[in-house]
Amino acid sequence: MDLSAERLRERLRRPLRYHESVGSTNDLAKAWFLEGAPEGAVIIANEQLRGRGRHGRTWHTPPNVALALSIILCPPASAANRLTMLGALAVYDLAIAAGCAQVGIKWPNDVQVNGKKVAGILPEAVWQGSDLRATILGIGVNVRTDFANTNLGDHAISLEDALDRRLDRAELLQTLLERLDYWYARLSDESTFQAWKGRLNMIGKRVTGNRRSGIARDVTRDGNLIVVGDDGNQMTFEAGDISLRAEPGADA
Ligand code: ATP
Ligand code: BTN
């Protein structure tokens, strides 16, 4: 088995809790933070029974095939919206390090390999009144998930399918967390924003979502997407607002 508490403790020099099966790692990380877990602590699971995705969707995490983790981070509130960039950058680096050739970030934070979604990021805030106490950065990566008997196959892919070789999930987690630490140390830097922007694969493409369409023109430093609509009006979308799709082969 490529994932176990022992193997993870050897490789990841940080507070961690490993579970064979959980509802959602984000829920456990939040509960652990409220019990006193320090910044940087991570919950890792081999399976999620109620994995959550964006827009209230379910995130498919069967046993033995994926990375499912949630990291406790306490950024200044002014930089919290950068965490979504951070997760995407770290997974992007992981896919490149593993040897994937065609990697891109689909705004705001899906990492795609060969044009399909290999990972998703779900940041969730922990508030006390109006104070941001922590952000739980949830990351799911498909390592060897078989999508054949699901309805996700058209849009989802696993790293091992893209690479056609076996990967070790403990090694992948080590690389992923090293890259996260790297970017987190540079959270507010202009170069972090530029790195994220430079890896987006939607800029200049025709996009549609929620019955609106146009050309994705740019992103703001807060991570919002600027789209010039078909009527010529400029629209700004926040990451949580809309699910946009680039139309295949429809570059502007
Ligand atoms: P988003 O709005 O998050 O960008 P999307 O619908 O544009 O999502 P697609 O890549 O087009 O993303 O579709 C993949 C769909 O399958 C999404 O709804 C995603 O949440 C869902 N899904 C559930 N589990 C997985 C998984 N393990 N890997 C990839 N996609 C998954
Ligand atoms: C998306 O829809 O793109 C976001 C998917 C986020 C999935 C990860 S898996 C670990 C963490 N726990 C959850 O319940 N969701 C996130």
Q: What does the pLDDT look like over 132-184, one tens digit per residue?
A: 999 999 999 999 999 998 999 999 999 999 999 999 999 999 999 999 999 99
- 95 vs 128, residue with greater confidence: 95
CA dihedral 152, 207, 218, 156 (to 10 degrees): 10
Same domain for 227 and 114 = no
pTM of the full structure: 0.94
Regarding the beta carbon of 57 and ligand 1, being less than 6 Å apart is answered yes
Q: What's the rounded Cα separation, in Å, for the pair 112 and 109?
A: 9
Q: For residue 107, how many C-alpha atoms fall within 13 Å in the half-sphere facing its CB?
A: 35
Query: Measured in angstroms, how far is the CA atom of residue 106 from the centroid of ligand 1?
Result: 11
Same domain for 70 and 14 = yes
With a cut of 70, say whether residue 250 has pLDDT above it: no
Query: Measured in angstroms, how far is the CA atom of residue 138 from the centroid of ligand 1?
Result: 15
User: Considering every ligand atom, which ligand is closest to the CA of 53?
Assistant: 2
User: Considering every ligand atom, which ligand is closest to the CA of 248?
Assistant: 1
- Name residue 96's beta-bridge partners: none
Pairing of strands 103-106, 66-73: unpaired
pLDDT value of position 1 = 84
User: Considering every ligand atom, which ligand is closest to the CA of 49?
Assistant: 2
Q: For residue 177, how many C-alpha atoms fall within 13 Å in the half-sphere facing its CB?
A: 25
For residue 123, give its domain range: 5-199
Regarding the beta carbon of 161 and ligand 1, being less than 6 Å apart is answered no
Counts of helices then strands in the chain (DSSP H, E):
6, 12
With a cut of 80, say whether residue 251 has pLDDT above it: no
Query: Measured in angstroms, how far is the CA atom of residue 232 from the centroid of ligand 1?
Result: 29
Same domain for 220 and 102 = no
Domain count, the chain: 2
pLDDT digits (tens, 9 = 90+) for 1-49: 899 999 999 999 999 999 999 999 999 999 999 999 999 999 999 999 9
pLDDT value of position 200 = 96
Determine the atom of ligand 1 nearest the C-alpha atom of 60: 24
Q: Is the dihedral of CA 13, 70, 170, 187 positive or negative?
A: negative
Same domain for 125 and 233 = no
Residue with CA at minimum distance from ligand 1 atom 2: 243
Same domain for 234 and 153 = no
Residue with CA at minimum distance from ligand 2 atom 9: 140
Q: What's the rounded Cα separation, in Å, for the pair 72 and 57?
A: 22
Same domain for 181 and 209 = no
Cβ atoms 2, 10 nearer than 8 A: no
